[in-house]
Amino acid sequence: MKVAVSTLLFVLALSMPAAAQRTSIFPKGEIATVDNHTGTVWLKELSEPDSVFNYSIATATFAPGAKLDWHIHPAGQILLITEGIGYYQERGKPRQTVQQGQVIKCQPGVEHWHGAAPKSSFAYLATTPTQKGKTIWLKRVTDAEYRSSK
């Protein structure tokens, strides 16, 4: 019986997608409860700003289809994508598909959004300078905006 159970677990492990078996280096954090996104987003602050380092570093993980609302970082933001496939769009520009290993520079004051593609989880490390104030949250990304690559 013991053998049968371990064989079953082995077969189950083999049938899981590779991404599901991978363990993130950093903790995934807690499900975000702030009203600035749709879908499930996990957030974990990894390095808080202090008197020496005036930026925060956090990891964000998105369930497939989850996305942030349109927003602005007064001093910009750099995203290091650590997992999956997602979308990034600046106001007035086409939506870009982005993936693990890419680095995105969100320029200061530029309205944009980012989130997971419909069928992929998505995660990044975000470095956000804090000296010019907090992120400004704007409108929800509409379904039409999310679907359109224009």
- Quote the least distance from Cβ 135 to Mn ion, whole Å: 7
Nearer to Mn ion, 77 or 120 (CB): 77
Contact indicator for 37, 115 with CB cutoff of 8 Å: yes
Interaction residues for Mn ion, span 33-92 (CB under 5 A): 77
Nearer to Mn ion, 1 or 94 (CB): 94
End-to-end CA distance of the chain: 57
Q: How far apart are CA 98 and CA 82, in angstroms?
A: 11
Nearer to Mn ion, 61 or 77 (CB): 77
- Quote the least distance from Cβ 125 to Mn ion, whole Å: 12
CB atoms near residue 76 (< 10 Å): 17
Residues forming the site for Mn ion (CB under 5 A): 77, 106
